[in-house]
A and B are shown apart, each in its own frame.
Chain A
Amino acid sequence: MRIELVKRPERSQLFAAFSPFIALGLTLIAGAIMFTVLGKNPVEALYYYFIDPLREVWSLHELAVKAAPLILIAVGLSICFLSNNWNIGAEGQFIMGAIAGSILPVMFPEFQSWIVLPLMLLMGIAGGALYGAIPAYLKVRFNTNEILTSLMLVYVAQLFLDWMVRGPWRNPEGMNFPETRTFSPSAVLPEIWSASGRANWGFVFAIVTAVALWFMLSRTLRGFEVQVLGQSPRAGKFAGFSQSRMVFFAFLVAGGLAGLAGISEVSGAIGQLRPTISPGYGFAAIIVAFLGRLNPLGIIAAGLVLALSYLGGEAAQISIGVSDKVVRAFQGMLLFFVLACDTLILYRIRFVGSSAAKTVEATQNV
Chain B
Amino acid sequence: MDTTPLANGRNLLEVRGLTKIFGTLKACDQVDLTIAKGEIHALLGENGAGKSTLVKMLFGSLEPNAGEIQWNGQPVRITSPGVAKKLGIGMVFQHFSLFEALTAAENIALSLADDTPISTIAAKARALSYSYGLPLDPESLVGDLSVGERQRIEIIRCLLQTPDLIILDEPTSVLTPQEADKLFETLERLRAEGKSILYISHRLDEVRRLCDSATIMRHGKVVGHCNPRLETPSSLARMMVGTEVKNAERTTAAVRGEELLSICGMSRKPAGPFSMPLKNIRLNVAGGEVIGIAGVAGNGQGELFEAISGEALQDSADAIRIRGKSAGRMGISARRLLGAAFVPEERLGHGAAPRMRLSDNLLLSRHTTDGKAFVGMAGMVKSGAVQKAAQRIIEVMDVRKSAPDPEAAALSGGNLQKFIIGRELDRNPSVMVVNQPTWGVDAGAAARIRQALIELARNGSAVLVISQDLDELFEISDSIAVMHNGDLSKPIPIAEATLERIGLLMGGAEPGHLDHAKEVA
Q: Which of A224, A234, A359 contacts B367 (CB 8 A)?
A: A224
* B254 at the binding interface (Cβ < 8 Å): no
Task: State which of B4-12, B157-165, B328-336 sits at the interface with chain A.
Answer: B328-336
* A11 at the binding interface (Cβ < 8 Å): yes
Can you identify 21 A-B contacts, CB atoms within 8 angstroms? A9-B410, A10-B410, A219-B380, A221-B363, A221-B367, A221-B381, A224-B363, A224-B367, A231-B354, A232-B350, A232-B353, A232-B354, A237-B311, A237-B332, A238-B311, A238-B364, A239-B365, A240-B368, A356-B79, A360-B77, A363-B76
Which chain B residue has the least Cβ–Cβ distance from A233?
B349
Q: Which of A235, A359, A360 contacts B353 (CB 8 A)?
A: A235
* B344 at the binding interface (Cβ < 8 Å): yes
* A222 at the binding interface (Cβ < 8 Å): yes
* B407 at the binding interface (Cβ < 8 Å): yes
Please, what's the 1-or-0 string for B347-371, where 1 marks a CB less than 8 Å from any CB in chain A? 0011111111000100111011000
Interface size class of A (residues with CB under 8 A): 20 to 34
CB distance from B58 to the nearest CB of A (A): 14
Please, what's the 1-or-0 string for B403-432, where 1 marks a CB less than 8 Å from any CB in chain A? 000010010000000000000000000000
Residues of B within 8 A of A295 (CB): none
Excluding A221-B380, A232-B355, A239-B332, 10 further A-B contacts by CB distance (< 8 Å) are A9-B23, A10-B407, A10-B410, A220-B378, A220-B381, A222-B379, A231-B356, A236-B353, A237-B311, A360-B77
Which chain A residue has the least Cβ–Cβ distance from B348?
A232
Please, what's the 1-or-0 string for A81-95, where 1 marks a CB less than 8 Å from any CB in chain B? 000000000000000
Q: B25-54: which have CB < 8 Å to A? A: none
Inter-chain contact A235/B349, CB cutoff 8 Å = yes
Interface size class of B (residues with CB under 8 A): 35 or more
* B385 at the binding interface (Cβ < 8 Å): no
Inter-chain contact A359/B381, CB cutoff 8 Å = no
Inter-chain contact A234/B356, CB cutoff 8 Å = no
Inter-chain contact A366/B72, CB cutoff 8 Å = yes
Inter-chain contact A239/B76, CB cutoff 8 Å = no
A238-B309 in contact given A220-B381, A363-B74, A363-B76 (Cβ < 8 Å): yes
A363-B381 in contact given A228-B353, A238-B311 (Cβ < 8 Å): no
CB distance from A144 to the nearest CB of B (A): 20
Complex CA distance for A129 and B349, rounded to whole angstroms:
31
Inter-chain contact B333/A240, CB cutoff 8 Å = yes
* B133 at the binding interface (Cβ < 8 Å): no
Inter-chain contact B23/A228, CB cutoff 8 Å = no
Complex CA distance for A28 and B71, rounded to whole angstroms:
51
Q: Which of B22, B23, B355, B380 contacts A220 (CB 8 A)?
A: B380
* A27 at the binding interface (Cβ < 8 Å): no
Residues of B within 8 A of A176 (CB): none
Residues of A within 8 A of B86 (CB): 364
Complex CA distance for A227 and B378, rounded to whole angstroms:
18
Q: B130-185: which have CB < 8 Å to A? A: none
Inter-chain contact A238/B355, CB cutoff 8 Å = no
Which chain B residue has the least Cβ–Cβ distance from A230?
B353
Complex CA distance for A3 and B351, rounded to whole angstroms:
37
Complex CA distance for A10 and B402, rounded to whole angstroms:
12
Inter-chain contact B379/A221, CB cutoff 8 Å = yes
Inter-chain contact B355/A231, CB cutoff 8 Å = yes
Most chain B C-beta atoms within 10 Å of own C-beta, residue among A9, A11, A240: A240
Residues of A within 8 A of B342 (CB): 238
Residues of B within 8 A of A366 (CB): 71-72, 74, 76, 87
CB distance from A228 to the nearest CB of B (A): 5
Q: B80-96: which have CB < 8 Å to A? A: 83, 86-87
CB distance from B347 to the nearest CB of A (A): 10
Query: Which A residues lie at the B interface, using CB under 8 A?
Result: 9-11, 219-222, 224, 227-228, 231-232, 234-240, 356, 359-360, 363-364, 366
CB distance from B79 to the nearest CB of A (A): 5
Complex CA distance for A294 and B75, rounded to whole angstroms:
49
Query: Which B residues lie at the A interface, using CB under 8 A?
Result: 22-23, 71-72, 74-77, 79, 83, 86-87, 309, 311, 331-333, 336, 342, 344, 346, 349-356, 360, 363-365, 367-368, 375, 378-381, 383, 407, 410
Residues of B within 8 A of A11 (CB): 355, 407
Complex CA distance for A239 and B87, rounded to whole angstroms:
47
Complex CA distance for A364 and B380, rounded to whole angstroms:
59
Residues of A within 8 A of B365 (CB): 238-239
A363-B380 in contact given A9-B22, A10-B410, A227-B356 (Cβ < 8 Å): no
Complex CA distance for A231 and B86, rounded to whole angstroms:
38
CB distance from B304 to the nearest CB of A (A): 15
A240-B331 in contact given A9-B23, A363-B76 (Cβ < 8 Å): yes
Residues of B within 8 A of A9 (CB): 22-23, 410
CB distance from B241 to the nearest CB of A (A): 25
Which chain A residue has the least Cβ–Cβ distance from B354?
A232
Which chain A residue has the least Cβ–Cβ distance from B22?
A9
A238-B381 in contact given A232-B349, A360-B83, A363-B74 (Cβ < 8 Å): no
Complex CA distance for A356 and B383, rounded to whole angstroms:
49
Inter-chain contact A219/B354, CB cutoff 8 Å = no
CB distance from A223 to the nearest CB of B (A): 8
Inter-chain contact B77/A359, CB cutoff 8 Å = yes
Residues of A within 8 A of B407 (CB): 10-11
Which chain B residue has the least Cβ–Cβ distance from A366?
B74
Complex CA distance for A240 and B338, rounded to whole angstroms:
14
CB distance from A346 to the nearest CB of B (A): 10
Inter-chain contact B364/A235, CB cutoff 8 Å = yes
CB distance from A215 to the nearest CB of B (A): 9
Complex CA distance for A228 and B353, rounded to whole angstroms:
7
CB distance from A145 to the nearest CB of B (A): 20
Residues of B within 8 A of A219 (CB): 380-381, 383
Complex CA distance for A236 and B344, rounded to whole angstroms:
13
CB distance from A33 to the nearest CB of B (A): 35
Most chain B C-beta atoms within 10 Å of own C-beta, residue among A220, A238, A359: A238
Residues of B within 8 A of A239 (CB): 332, 364-365, 367
Residues of B within 8 A of A234 (CB): 346, 349-350
Inter-chain contact A363/B77, CB cutoff 8 Å = yes
CB distance from B346 to the nearest CB of A (A): 8
